[in-house]
Amino acid sequence: MSTRPEILFPLFAPLETLTGVGPKMVKSLAGLDIESPRDLIFTLPTSGIDRRFRSTLNGLPLPSTVTTEVRVERHIPARVKGRPYRVEVEDAELPFNLVFFHASPSWLQRTLPVGESRIVSGKAELFDGLAQMVHPDHIVPVAKAGEIPEFEAVYPLTQGVTLKKMTKAIEGALTRAPELPEWIDPALKEREGWPDWQDAVMAAHRPNTSADLSSTAPARRRLAYDELLAHQVMLALLRAERRARSGRASVGTGKLQGAVLAALPFQPTGAQERAFRDIADDMARPERMNRLLQGDVGAGKTLVALMALLTAVEAGGQGVLMAPTEILARQHLQGLQPLAEAAGVVIELLTGRDKGAERAAKLMALKDGDIHILVGTHAVFVEDVVFKDLRLAVIDEQHRFGVAQRMMLGQKGDRTDVLVMTATPIPRSLSLAQYGDMEVSILDEKPPGRTPVTTAMVAADKMDQVVERLRAAVAEGRQAFWVCPLVDESEVSAKTAAESRFKALRAALGEGVVGLVHGQMPPKDKDAAMAAFVAGETKVLVATTVIEVGVDVPNASIMVIEGAEGFGLAQLHQLRGRVGRGAKVSTCLLLYSTPLSESGRKRLDVIRDTEDGFRIAEEDLIMRGAGDVLGTAQSGLPRFRIADLERQASLMAVAQDDARALIASDPDLRTPRGEAMRVLLWLMEQDQAIQMISVG
């Protein structure tokens, strides 16, 4: 079934087919991402206006919205151009004025004839001690009082679309909402008390009280669940398709891993042990592994990655570890080399810098199987690099890429297992939205030897004292990072900020003490500045956020973040994670400019009070919303119209379990519920999923 089911045709017809929607309004609605009646149905009210009838304005707190019956007493036309036209009216107890600007007098006399009664509804307020209602929203004869809703839904609007026009368009779209077959698991639907789809749509658009607008209202939860379920079914299909592609069982002997564990000065954490087991079990299966290793700053992902790579080598194959930048690739190599050597494993680095004979020799050794583990940037996977027997690709992806890019990558290696690592703790709901097609291992314990970091907030006007403290620390042989503020997100101005801070610190601390690294530098200068800092030749490294992820300098025990209030929580947490890697007591100073906004203070308080990356991520989600936490544009996070990942997070986990169970029992969606699910996938425009079931 690769064509849209007929039952949905009316929902995907052009907007112009709705009464009252012309070409101009179509253009305006496009600004709200509304292109079909279906989009209008999924544009739910954001608030509501209580228009229940009151017999009088008397005694009501003004200003407030009031609906009441009035008798028209007299008309007072404007004497001077630009002045308002007034109509004196009286409700059951109180006289007041209806006020109109630029209205046609003949229309007013027809609509509000003297001596007759009318129902008016609008915002009443006091003006010079007298009650008045400017431009009532509704004026109807008493017999038609029922036309005014008791609770009126308010929708998102855009230029050229009034609430009246929007409501009319949505009412038109609602007449097209068909009865659809049920795709939700009957037991779940009953347990949650959710209405059928058509009833849920009607209830969501016709709220009776403000409680009906909340994300916990049954109709809204059901519609949010539909959206999350369609997304999770797409991911479950993707996961099933990937598992069906044959992989190879790579069973480790444990010999090399044992040698590495014996060489470690500490015991792995419980979380690391769990991850070792999960990965080994996945690799031993004939299906391809597709696992995400999610760890907080300094949770020891590299050791887990090495164990996985050694499993591939023990099974007679090779492994590759890809890092997003050359600095990080080199650092991975430095971290892994001594351990790999303890096990007699050959590990090599390949980057864009390898040229000529040296490069050719590495490629030959790789093809012959003489190199067991290759470390490099993403480029190693794409170019003329041929492995003898590649069994595992580990991707350290600082740039979280979406489902589509992961699909491409999985097609690259022949039957290769894939382990993706991310150092960004992500709240569970987002993790399921973004990585729902993968199995997930979480490292939520810190290995021994990491010292806690003391975090303090310091106002920017105390900068001189901070520089003095830094001078004393440098004299003791300690090292520090100084991160410059985010300057209106532009690399060029960030570079300027970093250069001026570099000059000021060099003047204060002396020549040769301060290094500089920023995004605009040529890679070799950047590497040289980093190398000098790692070697302890420079004591203070002034940097833009290029050092955010992965850079490891155990001797650095001070992190100064200038303009800290401008950074996101996740970024502050990542930056602080650059210190506390050695035995020295470490400090993170958050320099902020006064006055601090409320949200700025809240963010800095959270960072000061906890080092738990997952708690920080949850707070970040509540404060900023899903799109900002992941940077939706490049995160591969889907955009949901109804589902609210901050407030309805628990639904995502239910949707994942449900979707996986459905695809396991009905992989081609051929049962009655499976057929209903196909309708949902079309309704939610899950093209990728539709493509997979059409092909399957």
Q: Which tokens go with 67?
A: 């609906």
Per-residue pLDDT at 198: 97
pLDDT in tens, 462-517: 999 999 999 999 998 899 999 988 655 555 566 677 888 999 999 999 888 999 98
Band (632; pLDDT cuts 50, 70, 90): very low
Distance separating alpha carbons of residues 207 and 520, to the nearest angstrom: 54
Q: Which residues contact 426 (CB under 8 A, 6 or more apart)?
A: 294, 434, 617, 629, 630
Cβ contact 323:335 at 8 Å: no
Q: Do domains 255-443 and 453-610 have the same CATH topology?
A: yes
Q: Which whole number is the average pLDDT over 117-132?
A: 94
Q: Which of 264-268, 364-368, 511-515 has the highest mean pLDDT?
A: 364-368
Ranges of each domain in the chain: 52-148, 255-443, 453-610
Per-residue pLDDT at 635: 43
pLDDT in tens, 3-22: 889 999 999 999 999 998 99
Q: Is the pLDDT of residue 609 over 60?
A: yes
Topology annotation, domain 255-443: Rossmann fold (3.40.50)
Distance separating alpha carbons of residues 259 and 274, to the nearest angstrom: 19
Average pLDDT across the chain, whole number = 86
Q: Is the pLDDT of residue 630 over 80?
A: no
Per-residue pLDDT at 21: 93
Which of these CATH numbers, 3.40.50.970, 3.30.950.10, 3.90.1150.10, 3.40.50.300, describes 453-610?
A: 3.40.50.300
Nearest alpha carbon to residue 480 among 526, 528, 547, 565: 547
Q: Is the pLDDT of residue 402 over 80?
A: no
Q: Which tokens go with 56?
A: 């009088």
Q: Which whole number is the average pLDDT over 189-199?
A: 96
**481 has which bridge partners?**
541, 559
Q: Which whole number is the average pLDDT over 269-279?
A: 94
Q: Is the pLDDT of residue 400 over 80?
A: no
Q: Which residues contact 312 (CB under 8 A, 6 or more apart)?
A: 250, 283, 318, 319, 391, 392, 417
CATH architecture of residue range(s) 52-148:
Beta Barrel (2.40)
Q: Is the pLDDT of residue 383 over 50?
A: yes
Nearest alpha carbon to residue 567 among 552, 588, 587: 588
Band (329; pLDDT cuts 50, 70, 90): confident
Cβ contact 436:231 at 8 Å: yes
Element spanning 74, H or E? strand 64-76
